[in-house]
Amino acid sequence: MTGFVVANHLSSAYDSNTRTTVTLDPDVERLIRDVMRERAISFKQALNEAARNGLCGKGPKRATKFAQKSFRMGEAQEFRWDKALAVADAIEDEELNRKLTLRK
């Protein structure tokens, strides 16, 4: 696997800083480097922020659940929507008959 190896060279049995080696994919390294340039921060800061944001859920907010808006169409309905396909077939039949009679 190709990538960029990150190594923290501080190590101590009693300190929170420990030596850690991480192999980053090239696209992840590029993202970290972009953040470094944009914010003028070190590689360590950019990597720690990315890890915290990803693990603590501080990253981009998820999209809200889609909710379809509905509107009342009124009380009196003269058209029976449960028969819509039958009506569409009848209209199509009428149009075909009209076209056939025009050919004669």
pLDDT for the residue 4: 56
Per residue of the chain (104 residues), what is the pLDDT tens digit?
455 555 555 445 555 667 778 899 999 999 999 999 999 999 999 999 998 888 887 766 667 888 999 888 777 777 787 888 999 999 999 999 999 999 86
CB hemisphere CA count around 7 (13 angstroms): 3
Name the strand (E) or helix (H) holding 24. Answer: strand 21-24
Q: How far apart are CA 57 and CA 80, in angstroms?
A: 50
Q: What is the pLDDT of residue 40?
A: 93
In this predicted structure, what is the pLDDT of residue 6? 57
- Name the β-bridge partners of 21: 7
- pTM, two decimal places: 0.42
